[in-house]
Amino acid sequence: MKRYLPFIIVAVIAVAAVSAGALLYWAKRPHLLSIPQDQAISGKPDTERTHIRGNPDAPVTIEEFGDFQCPPCSSMAPYLDKRVDEFKPRVRLVFRNFPLPPHKHAREAALAAEAAGLQGKFWEMHDVLYREQSTWSNADDSHELFDAYAGTIGLNVAEFNKDMESGKVKDRVDSDHKRGVALGVTSTPTVFINNRELPQNERTPEGLHGAIDRAVKEKSEAKTEQK
């Protein structure tokens, strides 16, 4: 027995090292979020309060938490729009405001988008804000530019300014932010596809396409099995 003791000790140390390595790996692995069933968007959402691009009844939901002053959000926006168009009518995009404190004008931009939404022009303002991000993000007075954008997309500017200061608009932005915090969102863009967070390494045109394609196929297969 004594003859084999050194080998036993080496084996025990090796097993311990592998176990420690595995624990470290899992500890360092990014934890992907998922939306609990009771907080998931199911069926046709309240279109009065939810900003939807695409078919409101689509079986696949992309839920994005975005910050209008976030450069990666600006880069991702056109790819999300293209995927919704490509997979229509099977995919819908839901946008949630998640302005980050370090971004000086992010909350005001979110208020501008929501104020535009009260006049039925949320997505028009959404697109302008991302397209012109580099301009208003660096402006001393971003509100002047938001007024200009409001006029460009055909809003009543006086009404737009009043709505930006309203409790209704502020509550909508705060409601989106609270939902994100409750789900564990800490950065933007954070994207959920059918209640599962899209991994960081898939936040590319190819990754988005693949993830949406899988979700569409899963829904199609599930529907076939139910028949």
Instruction: Please state, in angstroms and rounded to a whole number, the distance separating the CA atoms of residues 39 and 37.
Output: 5
Asked if 66 and 97 count as a contact pair (C-beta separation under 8 A), the reply is yes
pLDDT at 30: 57
- In angstroms, what is the C-alpha Rg of the chain? 23
Tens-digit pLDDT profile for the chain (227 aa)? 555 444 444 444 443 443 344 333 323 435 789 888 777 775 555 545 799 999 999 999 999 999 999 999 999 999 999 999 999 999 999 999 999 999 999 999 999 999 999 999 999 999 999 999 999 999 999 999 999 999 999 999 999 999 999 999 999 999 999 999 999 999 999 999 999 999 988 988 899 999 999 999 998 877 666 65
pLDDT at 65: 98
Query: Quick check: helix, strand or coil at residue 102?
Result: coil
Instruction: Please state, in angstroms and rounded to a whole number, the distance separating the CA atoms of residues 167 and 171.
Output: 6
CA distances, 202 to each of 86, 135, 156, 198 (Å): 18, 29, 40, 7
pLDDT at 123: 98
pLDDT at 219: 87
- Cβ contacts of 201-207, under 8 Å, gap ≥ 24: 203/72, 203/76, 205/79
**Nearest Cα residue to 125 out of 115, 135, 138:** 115
pLDDT at 43: 55
CA distances, 226 to each of 22, 93, 220 (Å): 40, 26, 10
pLDDT at 183: 96
pLDDT at 45: 54
pLDDT at 3: 56
pLDDT at 22: 33
pLDDT at 8: 46
Count CB-CB contacts under 10 A for residue 172: 22
Task: Return the ∠ at Cα 15 (arms to 14 and 21), rounded to 5°.
Answer: 90
pLDDT at 162: 98
Q: Checking DSSP bridges between strand 60-66 and strand 51-54, what pairing results, if any? A: unpaired
Query: In the numeric block, which tokens belong to residue 39?
Result: 């907080």
Task: Return the ∠ at Cα 126 (arms to 75 and 219), rounded to 5°.
Answer: 70
pLDDT at 10: 42
Homologous superfamily of the 49-226 domain (CATH) = Glutaredoxin (3.40.30.10)
Asked if 155 and 121 count as a contact pair (C-beta separation under 8 A), the reply is yes
Going from N- to C-terminal start, the domains of the chain cover 49-226
